[in-house]
Structure 1
């Protein structure tokens, strides 16, 4: 599903900025890995690079579902990369990122609409069931709690049946009970929809409680390496 090796991203100039490095990552369908580390170490930067929102300064290989992403990056094929992001990647932002003028159903449907796909689709329908969103479909985001917005954002992220879901601190604004519930629901969706998930989290205790494999930040002045926790 996902194979990445020797991925580096440089923020700022060498010597004055910060380099984020991922030696290797391999995920199959249904696999979930948590990215952990202190604030400011580069977790979100790593997620943006995996999500093809930041161009790497170094990359040995990147394959997603059989597509040679590294070759597309090397050739500067921006149209193909944009299409890849739209079709194969799903994103869950810290604040949900819902459009305030669309109701819940329209927000969830949006990724499919942008791809010319009709309706909610089977993945979104399953997510609505798992995340208990049916009573909310006609509401606007302003009428939702923070936890409800995050659940809607998760459903929207899988509506177009991506292969890789990237979630940036999806439980950061939630109380412990709802954070645990959303964690569990994300893992259920990964299993049922055969998604690979890279989940950035500051909640180390929650990650440990769910037994998730972990990419732990190892920071030094000017750089951070993300490697499996020993």
Structure 2
């Protein structure tokens, strides 16, 4: 058993737009190193909102517990730092601290890649490492080779295919070796054959880096074929509900 990287309990996010009301209840969500999760469910059920909560982009309305334990620099690999109380940071309005945590310890893969159009493939992949002041290229070259985009390093995003752009986006999200990788419908724009290959590459590289992976997808079967643990976002009684207990997690104190 191990201490979870992410630990949420009784976390609620509510929002309103005119007469429309949305309520997401994360009853329990623990995420440990090496976990690979697929959040599935119908459109509008709160999958992407759950990802936004995990990535510290959206604040919970309230939470019984929301903590992060990230790898501790200068220690034996796998050693986690003391937990950070994320809810306390939101209450204090400590957005700079939340942004720093996200940038250093999380990698985010967008549905459409989100590459900078005027930067080469190589410069896109190195973007996060440069922003964090990490040595370049570091592991980025090996990562590009693994994902099959090393030979494209001098090209601009518009000069490569949609599938290649998505693999470059994965390389960029993983180049700084984050502890948590979050991907929002990373294969939605790809045809089925490319989608499966891309998802399996993402899973394999995350596993190699010993990172936790959370993927939002509509494709339940693709998630199962990739070997991800499927977590359903359930709807009903005026709310969406998410629950996942990592099999690896120690019981919280």
Class of the TM-score when normalised by the shorter of the 2 chains: over 0.9
Instruction: Kindly indicate whether residue 218 of structure 2 is the aligned counterpart of residue 218 of structure 1.
Output: no
The Cα shift of 1:215 comes to 1.6
Larger deviation, residues 86-95 vs 111-120: 111-120
Aligned to 2:85: 68
Deviation by residue 1:184-209 (Cα, 9 ceiling, x = unmatched): 11111111111111100111111122
Deviation by residue 1:43-64 (Cα, 9 ceiling, x = unmatched): 1111111111111102122222
What root-mean-square deviation, in Å, do the aligned CA atoms of Structure 1 and Structure 2 show?
1.8
TM-score (norm 2): 0.85
Distance (whole Å) between structure 1 residues aligned to residue 162 and residue 237 of structure 2: 36
User: Retained in 1: the 8 A contact 2:34–2:207?
Assistant: yes
> Are residues 74 and 222 of structure 1, via their aligned partners in 2, closer, same or farther at CA, if it must alter by over 3 Å?
same
Runs of 4+ in 1 over 4 A off after TM superposition: none
Q: In the alignment, which of 165, 171, 183 is matched to residue 155 of structure 1?
A: 171
Larger deviation, residues 50-59 vs 125-134: 125-134
The unaligned stretches of length 5 or more in structure 2 are: 71-82, 246-253
Query: Mapping of 1:43-122 within 5 angstroms?
Result: 43-64=47-68, 65=70, 66-122=83-139
User: Retained in 2: the 8 A contact 1:169–1:201?
Assistant: yes
Partner-residue secondary structure (3-state), 2:234: strand
Instruction: Kindly indicate whether residue 205 of structure 2 is the aligned counterpart of residue 189 of structure 1.
Output: yes
Partner-residue secondary structure (3-state), 2:154: coil
Partner-residue secondary structure (3-state), 1:90: strand
Distance (whole Å) between structure 2 residues aligned to residue 54 and residue 216 of structure 1: 20
The Cα shift of 1:19 comes to 0.8
The unaligned stretches of length 5 or more in structure 1 are: none
Larger deviation, residues 144-153 vs 12-21: 12-21
**How many residues of Structure 1 are paired with residues of Structure 2 in the alignment?**
228
Deviation by residue 1:73-102 (Cα, 9 ceiling, x = unmatched): 232212211111111111100000000000
TM-score (norm 1): 0.93
Partner-residue secondary structure (3-state), 2:98: helix
Instruction: Kindly indicate whether residue 15 of structure 2 is the aligned counterpart of residue 11 of structure 1.
Output: yes
User: Retained in 1: the 8 A contact 2:141–2:150?
Assistant: no
Aligned to 2:190: 174
Aligned to 2:25: 21
**Structure whose residues are more often helix by fraction:** 1
The Cα shift of 1:72 comes to 1.8
Distance (whole Å) between structure 2 residues aligned to residue 42 and residue 200 of structure 1: 10
